[in-house]
Chain A
Amino acid sequence: DVKVTQSSRYLVKRTGEKVFLECVQDMDHENMFWYRQDPGLGLRLIYFSYDVKMKEKGDIPEGYSVSREKKERFSLILESASTNQTSMYLCASTPGKETQYFGPGTRLLVL
């Protein structure tokens, strides 16, 4: 079974803090994705990566950056957290052009 894990299920941060969300997959997948999910807006793609050290912007990259130093790990960074970044963050991976497999999500609250 594909396993995608995320470092935290719940996080509470202060405005202005730098926040790191980590995602690890154990299936040697080339592609990894970060989404945020908000009520009424669905899943929106923040960034994705198709190879180590490679990244591409998704639909809403502003205020975020990513890092992929190893194939199995994809990190999402909030450089200076703001209240409008309060959301559910979901990581996914896929071996190529097949379905994406999701992690359990991180619910982030920025105060």
Chain B
Amino acid sequence: EDQVTQSPEALRLQEGESSSLNCSYTVSGLRGLFWYRQDPGKGPEFLFTLYSAGEEKEKERLKATLTKKESFLHITAPKPEDSATYLCAVRENYGGATNKLIFGTGTLLAVQP
């Protein structure tokens, strides 16, 4: 069964303290791994899509990397405005034409000034 597990559940950092969030997955044939940011009371906002092991993508202080079993979201010198829940999802091995995703439960990141 396809599954996505994120760790840690919650992470508290000081401003400027770099760290990484983990997303491990089990899926038969990865067809895409997605990272989202979600602010309280709002819908998830798309950050990155990764398709193959070794792929990396960056946006401001965030960098996402992918191996065959997991993805990391590295946060370099975070600021308080980076505080949010970060969600990871993989595209389900579904034979249809659409894009069903399986989501992890997220990592709640708090960055203190």
Contacts and interface: CB of A to CB of B under 8 A. Distances in A.
Contact of B41 (A56, A96, A105): A105
Q: Is the interface of B mostly helix, strand, loop or mixed?
A: loop
B93 to A, nearest CB: 12
B59 interface: no
B99 A102 contact: no
B75 interface: no
Nearest to B96: A50
Size band of the interface chain A makes with B: 20 to 34
A97 B99 CA distance: 5
Nearest to A44: B103
28 contacts: A31-B98, A42-B105, A43-B44, A43-B103, A45-B100, A45-B101, A50-B97, A90-B43, A90-B44, A92-B43, A94-B98, A94-B99, A96-B97, A96-B98, A96-B99, A97-B32, A97-B91, A99-B46, A100-B34, A100-B46, A100-B99, A100-B101, A101-B46, A102-B36, A102-B43, A103-B43, A104-B42, A104-B43
Interface of A: 4, 30-31, 40-43, 45, 48, 50, 56, 58, 90, 92, 94, 96-105, 107
